[in-house]
């Protein structure tokens, strides 16, 4: 790590918000040296509670996040907010910029709000977002809230980064609940019916209750256990005692009116209850292991992709290879095998070296 990055890291760890902002920018832009910075952050992470807020557009996510951050601050806790915005078609950056509509938090330096681009995966979390969470965690934020675009099944990406996932469902969703049942709703640890003063709220709560009750056949997992069911998070054998009925998490339903803060305290209580459940059941350790495993896989995919891009360039570029296939001179499988050969040879050499040491 060069001297500038070392100074940046030191500033972040000492609580300088400017340093935090610069580190996140470096992470998002994948600037030279960002990997060394992120690597150094890991030793200082693990203390923050990470909450994901997702749901369909118009459900009131930003308003609820604002009230959530405000209430945490009233309790003396510091907050980091990462808002995943649609990517700009021109710059690739976040369209909405920093969320100035989070009016209650403006001017409070202990609520650090950062918008990040979904980078082409609408509603998805980029690797950069997960790294930004680590930066806020290492900085010392007590609560980190990730708010997503809200675009359907891709929201399941948030499970890999958040400890607790809250799905907002607007009143009168009706058929939408059935449509989303096999997708976004399955990742919920807490359901929130926001705008609960509007017509249809009671019916929406009832439909969610019925869905949770009927979840024993799949989907939400036995007993309505959100993404802690075996199908969503791995084989049942991996969970051991956490599959026992008395340790299952039953997804609660909270009614809120985010515009005036009604129900926010209850929402925070349910988030805290889920955090307690994660620790007591041993599920938290499992989630963290799985999260790191996915990070390793993602980094390996990115690095191997870069290596193969170099191999493609050395072989004359993808267009020349595609033309060779078109002319019947070769086929895609043969090309892939030929490009992978030097990578496999390198791995074989590394393995031989390890065995000889």
- Whose tokens are 């290879």? That residue is 321
So what's the pLDDT on residue 65? 92
Residue with tokens 């070769």: 330
Using an 8 Å Cβ cutoff, are 146 and 50 in contact?
yes
Q: What is the pLDDT of residue 101?
A: 43
Q: Which domains does the chain have, with CATH numbers?
A: 45-281 (3.40.50.300), 295-356 (no CATH)
- pLDDT tier at 307 (50, 70, 90 boundaries)? confident
pLDDT attached to residue 180: 58
- pLDDT tens digits for 206-215? 888 888 777 6
CB-facing half-sphere around the CA of 299: CA atoms within 13 A: 13
pLDDT at 103: 45
Confidence of residue 233 (pLDDT cuts 50, 70, 90): very low
d(CA 26, CA 272): 32
Kindly report the backbone phi and psi dihedral angles of residue 294, in degrees, each rounded to the nearest multiple of 5, phi listed first: -70, -35
Question: What confidence tens digit (pLDDT) does each residue in 68-115 have?
Answer: 999 999 999 999 999 887 654 334 444 444 444 444 454 556 889 988
Cα-based distances in Å from 246 to 79, 242, 271: 33, 9, 19
């Amino acid at each position: 790590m060069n001297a500038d990055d070392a100074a940046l890291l030191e500033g972040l760890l000492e609580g300088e918000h400017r340093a935090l902002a610069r580190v996140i920018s470096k992470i998002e832009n994948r600037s030279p040296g960002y990997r060394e910075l992120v690597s150094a952050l890991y030793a200082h992470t693990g203390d923050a509670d990470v909450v994901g807020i997702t749901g369909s557009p118009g459900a009131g996510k930003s308003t609820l996040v604002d009230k959530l951050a405000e209430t945490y601050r009233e309790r003396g806790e510091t907050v980091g907010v990462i808002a995943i915005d649609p990517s700009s078609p021109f710059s690739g950056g976040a369209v909405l910029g920093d969320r100035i509509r989070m009016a209650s938090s403006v001017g409070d330096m202990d609520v650090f709000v950062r918008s990040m681009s979904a980078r082409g995966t609408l509603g998805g979390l980029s690797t950069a977002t997960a790294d930004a969470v680590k930066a806020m965690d290492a900085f010392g934020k007590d609560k980190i809230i990730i708010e997503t675009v809200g675009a359907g099944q891709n929201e399941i990406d948030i499970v890999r980064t958040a400890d607790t996932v809250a799905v907002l469902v607007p009143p009168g969703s009706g058929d939408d609940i059935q449509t989303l049942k096999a997708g976004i709703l399955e990742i919920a640890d807490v359901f929130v019916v926001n705008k609960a003063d509007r017509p249809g709220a009671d019916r929406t709560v009832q439909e969610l209750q019925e869905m949770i009750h009927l979840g024993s056949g799949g989907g939400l997992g036995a007993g309505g256990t959100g993404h802690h069911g075996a199908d969503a998070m791995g084989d049942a054998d991996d969970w051991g005692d956490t599959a026992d009925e008395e340790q299952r998490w039953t997804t609660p339903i909270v009614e809120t009116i985010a515009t005036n803060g009604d129900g926010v305290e209850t929402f925070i209580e349910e988030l805290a209850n889920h955090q307690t459940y994660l620790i007591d059941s041993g599920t938290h350790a499992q989630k963290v292991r799985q999260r790191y495993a996915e990070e390793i896989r993602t980094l390996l995919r990115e690095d191997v992709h870069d290596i193969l891009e170099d191999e493609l360039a050395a072989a004359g570029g993808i267009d020349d290879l595609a033309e060779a296939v078109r002319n019947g001179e070769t086929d895609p499988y043969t090309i892939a095998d030929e490009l992978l050969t030097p990578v496999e040879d390198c791995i074989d050499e590394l393995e031989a070296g390890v065995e000889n040491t």
